[in-house]
Homo-oligomer: A and B are copies of this chain.
């Protein structure tokens, strides 16, 4: 198992304050796997045997019901995913698939729970991470219930803009159909919503989005920290 990746994940909020002993205990039982694109890593309903850490590539969390499917999140390096199922030893509620070739570290859930009980700093980090995830999903719910599709898109663009160091030009980090699913609309509707936003300070060329009039976009989106962070 390459040392490089150990150093990387050691930096994660979840592990940074960990005793070396605890960290080794976690890594001792860990698998380090490489996956090609479009591999289904997790099928919702499976038992949560491993905590997953994505160190390179990209992973989509999604869910299916009655031949419908929706994207719940896109995970980029370096992040953990499905921590809650790991901690409660319950079935995964989301499925996961790689979007690109991805490197993933798999830590047995038992080990995570064991170190959680032994190491106070780890327990603290886990709670903060869980609370952060929880608050993220609460924001998502508010977004879905309080806003229309075009408002969700506008605000999402503002979030990306902020994340991209407030540059007025940005590249969508995923396919449009996945963005549409994430925002709770169809790809067709997303496309039409983009043309609507042309009158509100947004220009789109393929995956390139230019925010030509930030003021207009903000006036349309009316972002709030209580939804958009």
Contact = CB atoms under 8 A, between A and B. Distances in A.
Interface of A: 44-45, 63-66, 68-70, 72, 83-85, 87-88, 90-91, 93-94, 116-117, 120, 123-124, 126-128, 130-135, 137-142, 144-147, 184, 222, 224-227
Nearest to A143: B65
Copies in the complex: 2
Given A93-B142, A126-B127, 10 more contacts: A44-B226, A65-B226, A65-B227, A66-B222, A72-B138, A84-B131, A88-B135, A90-B135, A93-B139, A137-B137
B142 A145 contact: no
A107 to B, nearest CB: 16
A182 to B, nearest CB: 9
Contacts of A117: 120, 124
A222 B44 CA distance: 17
